[in-house]
Amino acid sequence: MKSPLRFSTWVIPLSYAVVAVAAGMVFPRLETPIFHGLGSTVTVSAAMAIYSSVASGMLALTVVVFSLAFVMIQFSATAYSPRLVLWISRDPFMWHAVGVFTATFLYAIAALAWVDRSGSGRVPLISSWVVIGLLLASVAMFVGLIERIGLLQINRMLTFTGDQGRKVIEATYPGRDSSTAAAASPDDFHQLPVTQTLIHRARPEVIQALNTAVLVTLAQKSGGIIEMLTAVGDTVVDLTPVLRVFGACQPIDEGALTNAIEMGDERTFDQDPKYAIRLLVDIAIKALSPAINDPTTAVQALDQIEDLLLRLGRRRLEIGEYRDKDCQLRLIAPCPTWEDFLRLAFDEIRSCGAHSIQVMRRMKALVNDLSLRLPEDRSPALRHWEERLQNTIARSFDDAEEKQEASVEDRQGLGVPRRHSARVQG
């Protein structure tokens, strides 16, 4: 099973370089006969100095800026999460900036060759303006690059991760009152014969997304039901069963099945709402490690986690069944439950922050706020976690006064304790 080819980031600056070299070789050559009367009023010596400064300065700027940028990215990977910072380092804007810097350097070198060509004492006008335009574009890219690197600040990093989670939740889960609610699935489809099993035969890869429409169509044409044995976000290794087909009248082309399952080297946010929470939890537990000991960052991560859980709790999470136009079940894919989301969001932070009064108070407020704002059917799982938090506090603090302090609800952790709460309808 092979991963689909992806557009490599190095192609972006390479394309800029190729275009710049081609333009530097062709454009001045066409400019001379076509615009023979046009020439810059800048002297030859001044033009050569300007072009040389642009070329040499741009090369030095590129080396310095991107060396510092990747050092900052590496530092942030250590401080936050290497999986999260990888998304920042692969931002296409960074590679377009490299391309513009490279194009400016190369075109300035090419334009320099046409200054005082054959002793003409002439400076091509249009080429000189192209150099100036590329220089201004490089300055704009430099400013934008500084803005992008600013994403590495912890607040913006947390917001970025939360935004990715909000997008995938909005795209993946319908509202609880949606008219597309799934009908009950037949309980006996497992009694049908297994007619086909798709096995992964390659190096370890991550399931990044499913083309459910294609899988439903394939199942409908074969007259069977496809059951995914792996979920989006799972890593599959060699000989891992990926899916089974039940009761098909004819075999489904394995190539078509493979193409409907997108795989890659790492998890993505597409169709994977747990991934954003996973990254936020990573940041929180790293901040709670003895080497860093920064519970405030963990509290800030819990702010984003609360918002994601609040949005999830208001949506229909049971989306694992897909039907054809005749409402016949054709595809079953595993999807996380409400309990799965809560376990991911709370368990590791609760464990790593067990001795932090600030974290315990924030988590108490988080669970209570969710209980007040979400429908009643979400409450049993939340009550379970409320009890687990209280048990953790009881085990972690020997002093009675510390236990009392850690048991107070406080949205800031150590800010304004909450006196009373009321259920919010909606």
The string of pLDDT tens digits covering residues 147-173 is: 877 777 888 889 989 999 999 999 999
Give the residue-averaged pLDDT of 409-413: 91
What is the pLDDT, as a whole number, of residue 114?
Answer: 78
In this structure, what token pair is assigned to residue 294?
Answer: 């920064």
C-alpha of 186 from chain center: 36
For residues 174 and 408, what is the distance between their CA atoms, to the nearest angstrom?
Answer: 35
Give the residue-averaged pLDDT of 312-338: 93
Judged against a pLDDT cut of 80, whether residue 398 lies above it is answered with: yes
Whole-structure pTM value: 0.79
Query: With the C-alpha atoms ordered 283, 286, 287, 292, is the resulting torsion angle positive or negative?
Result: negative
What is the pLDDT, as a whole number, of residue 305?
Answer: 97
What is the pLDDT, as a whole number, of residue 266?
Answer: 87
Between CA 91 and CA 95, with CA 93 as vertex, the angle to 5 degrees is 85
For the chain, the C-alpha Rg in angstroms (whole number) is 29
What is the pLDDT, as a whole number, of residue 302?
Answer: 97
Domains plus CATH for the chain? 11-152 (no CATH), 191-264 (3.90.1170.30)
> Who contacts 40 (Cβ-Cβ below 8 Å, separation ≥6)?
47, 123, 124, 125, 128
Element (H, E) at 137: helix 125-149
What is the pLDDT, as a whole number, of residue 187?
Answer: 56
For residues 221 and 232, what is the distance between their CA atoms, to the nearest angstrom?
Answer: 24
For residues 80 and 310, what is the distance between their CA atoms, to the nearest angstrom?
Answer: 24
Judged against a pLDDT cut of 70, whether residue 340 lies above it is answered with: yes
What is the pLDDT, as a whole number, of residue 79?
Answer: 67
What is the pLDDT, as a whole number, of residue 391?
Answer: 95
What is the pLDDT, as a whole number, of residue 3?
Answer: 39
Judged against a pLDDT cut of 60, whether residue 186 lies above it is answered with: no
Judged against a pLDDT cut of 60, whether residue 72 lies above it is answered with: yes
- Average pLDDT of the chain? 86
For residues 307 and 280, what is the distance between their CA atoms, to the nearest angstrom?
Answer: 12
For residues 310 and 131, what is the distance between their CA atoms, to the nearest angstrom?
Answer: 52
CA proximity to 285, closest of 207, 350, 380 = 350
What is the pLDDT, as a whole number, of residue 93?
Answer: 84
Judged against a pLDDT cut of 70, whether residue 419 lies above it is answered with: no
Give the residue-averaged pLDDT of 114-142: 82
Cα separation of the two ends of the chain? 46
What is the pLDDT, as a whole number, of residue 43?
Answer: 80
Write phi, then psi, for 425 (nearest 5 degrees).
-80, 145
What is the pLDDT, as a whole number, of residue 27?
Answer: 78
What is the pLDDT, as a whole number, of residue 24?
Answer: 83
Judged against a pLDDT cut of 80, whether residue 104 lies above it is answered with: yes
Tell me the residue type at 280: L
